[in-house]
Amino acid sequence: MTTCIAGSTTEISRDQMRAMLSHAQEALHGAAPAEVTVGRILYHPEAIMLAVEPRETLLPVLNAVADATEEIAHLEVSENRRSAWTPHTTVAYSVSEQDVEPIAAALGPSVQPRSILIDTVTLIVQWGPERTWDWEPIGQSTLGGDRTAVCACATNVGRPTTQRPVGPQEPGASRASLQNGV
């Protein structure tokens, strides 16, 4: 579940990522794991998703990772982005826009609800196109633990065959986001 797009690896260095982890650790140290439910289906012309609810339970995580992004990487996470955030997990993508009506009619408004516990936040770098899921974990921890991490996905054109440098020297990197683990 993506929490917040942080920025590009051309904008966020490894040192800044470590500082973001430390900042989020302090903010989330007292946060309890989030008890949420998935079941309600969200439809989009290019995706089918399950809503992660209630949203309010996840706001401490959103605010911690967004604040870390702003304060350490100096990249704004606007109030509009924060208020528009819809926690979800995507279960299917389409390579083109299509009418959601036939899909919605076939699947209905929900699947059997399942309760889950969100207890981990992970900092990752995403290499290559978004849907290749080539993620490099940078740091991870449980909420309320001694260490907490932010998840940053950064996209890079092509996959390097050697150590993957991240930072201002890296051309072609294009995005970062913050994720929660389930």
pLDDT beyond 60 at 40: yes
pLDDT at 50: 96
pLDDT beyond 50 at 6: yes
Query: How confident is the model over 143-168, as a mean pLDDT?
Result: 43
- 14-28 and 55-73 are packed helices; what angle lies between their axes, rounded to 10 degrees? 140
pLDDT beyond 80 at 29: yes
pLDDT bin (cut points 50, 70, 90) of residue 37 is very high
3-state helix, strand, coil in the chain (%, to 5): 25, 30, 40
Q: What average pLDDT does the structure give for the chain?
A: 78
pLDDT beyond 80 at 176: no
pLDDT beyond 50 at 147: no
DSSP for residue 100: S
pLDDT at 121: 84
pLDDT bin (cut points 50, 70, 90) of residue 134 is confident
Domain boundaries, given as residue ranges, for the chain: 2-181
Cα dihedral sign, 111-114-117-120: negative
Strand partners, 88: 51
Residues 115, 120, 126: CA angle, nearest 5 degrees: 115
pLDDT beyond 70 at 165: no
Amino acid identity for residue 45 in this structure: P
CATH superfamily of the 2-181 domain = Cyclic phosphodiesterase (3.90.1140.10)
CB 109 within 8 A of CB 102: no
- Phi, psi (5° rounding) for residue 150? -110, 150
Strand partners, 125: 136
Return d(Cα 36, Cα 34) in angstroms, integer. Answer: 6
What pTM does this model have? 0.75
Query: How confident is the model over 46-65, as a mean pLDDT?
Result: 93
* DSSP output for 131-169: GG-EEEEEEEEETTSS---------BSS--SS----STT
Residues of the chain with pLDDT > 90, as a percent, come to: 31
Task: Average the pLDDT over each of 4-8, 61-65, 103-107 and give the range with the smallest value.
Answer: 4-8
Q: Which residue has the higher pLDDT, 156 or 143?
A: 143
pLDDT at 55: 96
* DSSP output for 23-84: HHHHHHTTPPPEEEEEEEEEEETTEEEEEEE-HHHHHHHHHHHHHHHHHHH-----HHHHHH
